[in-house]
Amino acid sequence: MPIPTEVVGSLPRPQYLQQAYADYDAGKVQKEDLISAQDRAAEDSVAKMIATGETLVTDGEQRASSFATYPIIDTLGGAGLASNLAADGQYFAIFDDGHHRQLPRLTSGPLKYKTYAFENLQKSMPYAKGHGMKQAVIAPSMLYLLYPLNGTVEGYPKEQFVDDLVAECEKDIRGCFEAGAKRVSIDFTEGRLTAKKDPRNPWTGAGLLKTFVDLNNRVLAKFSPEERADIGIHTCPGGDCDSVHSGEVPYSELLPSLFQMNAGYFLIQLASEKDKASVYTQIGKHIRRDADGVNQVAFIGTINPLDPDVETPEMVAADLEQAVKCGIPKDQLGATDDCGFSPFSIDVKPKHGSPDFARDIAMKKIAARVQGAKLASERLGL
Write the CB contacts of 348 (distance below 8 Å, at least 6 apart in sequence).
18, 241, 354, 355
Quick: pLDDT tens for 361-372.
Answer: 999 999 999 999
Average pLDDT over residues 351-355: 96
Quick: pLDDT tens for 91-149.
Answer: 999 999 999 999 999 999 999 999 999 999 999 999 999 999 999 999 999 999 999 99
Give CA 289 to chain center in angstroms.
24
Helix ranges (H only) for 221-254 are 225-228
In degrees rounded to 5, what are phi and psi of residue 42? -65, -45
Res. 221: pLDDT tops 90 = yes
Average pLDDT over residues 64-93: 94
d(CA 295, CA 265): 8
Res. 324: pLDDT tops 90 = yes
DSSP-derived secondary structure for 260-295: TS--SEEEE--TT-S-HHHHHHHHHHH--S-SSS--
3 state DSSP class of 136 = strand
d(CA 324, CA 314): 16
pLDDT of residue 1: 87
Quick: pLDDT tens for 46-74.
Answer: 999 999 999 999 999 999 999 999 999 99
Average pLDDT, the chain: 97
In degrees rounded to 5, what are phi and psi of residue 66? -170, 170
Quick: pLDDT tens for 175-206.
Answer: 999 999 999 999 999 999 999 999 999 999 99
On whether the pTM is more than 0.85, the answer is: yes
3 state DSSP class of 44 = helix
pLDDT of residue 96: 94
d(CA 49, CA 253): 34
Give CA 264 to chain center in angstroms.
16
Share of the chain above pLDDT 90, in %: 99
